[in-house]
Chain A
Amino acid sequence: MAEGAEGGLARRAYAFLLRPEASVIVVSVALVIYFEIANQNFLSTANVQTLSQFVAAPVIIACGEIMLLICREIDLSVGQVFALAPFLMENINDLGVPEPLAIVGALAVCALIGLTIGLITIGLRVPSFITTLGMLFLITGLTLTISRGYPANTAGEPWLIGFMGGWSYSEILWALAIVAVMHIVLRHTRWGLHTVAIGGNIVASGEAGIAINRIKIANFVLTSTLGGFTGLLEAFRVGSIDPLAGGSNMMFLGVASGVIGGTAIAGGAGTIIGGLVGGIMLGVMQDGFTLQGINAFTFDIIIGAAILIAMVANIHLARLRGGGAQ
């Protein structure tokens, strides 16, 4: 009995180490230990709160990008939708629509942007890299036009502001909830399974009768909507809306979280949990090096190099796992 349980435990531990997220979890834990030793404040309540805010936004963005990357697409414009959404909300609110409904309205417009990206990409057979590169500039211009280039304050009832990101941990709780839902979508629904199948073998998916276009368009809609939602959360948390918020930096953090977490840039494989872990690792590094008081100029060099190393390492580990078994 005891022996069997032990064997089971060892097998489980081995199975865990074979998972794409495992190496990133190990590295993240090591980084946390290092920063805590180097700086006693790293695990203080105040810093854990700051850390959670670093992590939340890229992780939510990653949930959408991971679905797109798995089916061999990408959305470069999600960071611009992030900036646009709060202004949409504000403008709809100014029309006399109550704020909760204005939020829904803003998200609906974001979904429509995703739908447009999907229809152009699928209907006109333009690579999504190109479609969303165009969208990136188009939406930047749109946001600047709507805002006239000025930031604004986020208005609203205290409970709504708190619920939508104002409370200390509400943004990370949103992120974790979205991660949980998207994990289930990817692993336990047809939508998720077919997304993986399309990325793995598009011809076979077509022969099996999978609605390839519908799945891809759904993933574009999802990503834009999540991008807009993240922009709203950040706006409520910070208390102001900025036409230059988010941007390509936010998009790349989302994509990097996914890729560090084991999502294949060539499609066909990836996990939402991996995106969460990748986002946490990026957050730990950003926050940890900030606490260390590293010079702002060298900061980007260190972060950039760390992201590069993490992604290269993960791609190589994936190759080792693929070749090592059997």
Chain B
Amino acid sequence: MTEAIRAENLVKTFGNVVALDGLSMQVARGETLGILGDNGAGKSTLIKILTGYHQPDSGQVFVDGKPVQLGSVDGARGFGIECVYQDLALVNGLSIYHNMFLKREILWGGPFGFLNHREMRRRAREALEEIGIAISSVDLEVGRLSGGQRQAIAVARAVMSNARILLLDEPLAAMGAREAGLIIDLIDRLKARGDIAIVMIAHNYAQTLEICDRVILVQHGQITFESQAAATSAEQLLDIVRREYRAARAGLG
């Protein structure tokens, strides 16, 4: 499998807090990597560096094997990196297709730049069909959709804009089993395309092992465990974290 994105020796500090302490990771095309770890372990900082939101103090990011400066969120998008945040960044009062094209609207030619609703509807429908999301109409207001459908729209928007590296921040958070199933199926279909590298942050060990090809555990800004998902059990991960808690409590005592 060809490498999509790689980070080497990322260090990021906020004042006295070391968020990332020389972390290295890589993901290949068609691969799904799960990032596990406690709050404050450094997962979010890692994602925010990969989306260009934060700049690392030191270390290097590579896309397609070439060193890059992401610089900003727009810069990272230029390299095909898209992130679906937990808040999904959807506008409830707008239709599905308006949301999918927000700030990337298709316009008619000509001096006034009127919105080409017809073309946006058509392409939104196509994009949803392509990744197998069944929705009766792209004219529906996003606010009327379920949590799973909204998540699916946010993912579809990222994929439609030619994301080749898709970062998902807790895509299954606060979702019922049926809704989660919708998203897991969607991730499976994206994986099957083989051209997208997916990095997802998650809390639920069992679910993550189910969805991802490989998992890493981040603790104190470093990777403390890495394994193929098929060769890993939730027990194993739990054991490591349990040891951590005990050590922390002993330290406090």
Residues of chain A touching chain B, judged by Cβ–Cβ distance below 8 Å, are 184, 187-190, 193-194, 196-197, 199-201, 203-205, 207-210, 268-269, 322, 325-326
Contacts and interface: CB of A to CB of B under 8 A. Distances in A.
Interface string B96-125: 001000110101000011110100000000
Contact of A325 (B90, B92, B114, B144): B144
Contact of A203 (B89, B107, B113, B143): B89
B91 interface: yes
Nearest to A202: B91
Contacts of B94: 193, 196-197, 200
Contacts of A197: 91, 94, 98, 102
Contacts of A268: 91-93
B91 A204 contact: yes
B115 A200 contact: no
A325 B143 CA distance: 11
Contacts of A325: 144
B115 A190 contact: yes
A209 B90 contact: no
Nearest to A270: B93
Nearest to B114: A188
Given A204-B88, A207-B89, 5 more contacts: A193-B105, A196-B91, A201-B90, A209-B73, A269-B93
Contacts of B85: 207
B115 A193 contact: yes
10 contacts: A188-B114, A200-B91, A200-B92, A201-B90, A204-B89, A205-B102, A207-B73, A210-B103, A268-B92, A269-B93
B102 A208 contact: yes
Contacts, number: 63
A210 B102 contact: yes
Given A196-B94, A268-B93, A204 B74 contact: no
B114 A196 contact: no
Contact of A190 (B87, B113, B144): B113
Q: B interface, how many residues as a size bin?
A: 20 to 34
B91 A205 contact: yes
Q: Nearest 3 pairs between A and B by C-beta?
A: A204-B89, A200-B91, A200-B93
B69 to A, nearest CB: 19
Chain B residues touching A, majority SS? loop
Interface string B114-157: 11010000000000000000000000000110000000000000
Contacts of B73: 207, 209
B93 A189 contact: no
A326 B144 contact: yes
A188 B115 contact: yes
Given A197-B91, A204-B87, A209 B113 contact: no
Contacts of A203: 87, 89
A189 B105 CA distance: 9
Contacts of A193: 94, 98, 102, 105, 115
Contacts of A209: 73-74, 103
Contacts of B113: 189-190
Nearest to B89: A204
A203 B93 CA distance: 14
Interface in B45-97: 73-74, 85, 87-94
A284 B103 CA distance: 41
Given A204-B87, A209-B74, A199 B102 contact: no
Contacts of B117: 188
A184 B113 CA distance: 11
Contacts of B74: 209
Nearest to B146: A326
A238 B68 CA distance: 67
Nearest to B77: A209
Contacts of B89: 201, 203-204, 207-208
A196 B93 contact: yes
B162 to A, nearest CB: 16
Contacts of A204: 87-91, 102
Nearest to A192: B115
Contacts of A190: 105, 107, 113, 115
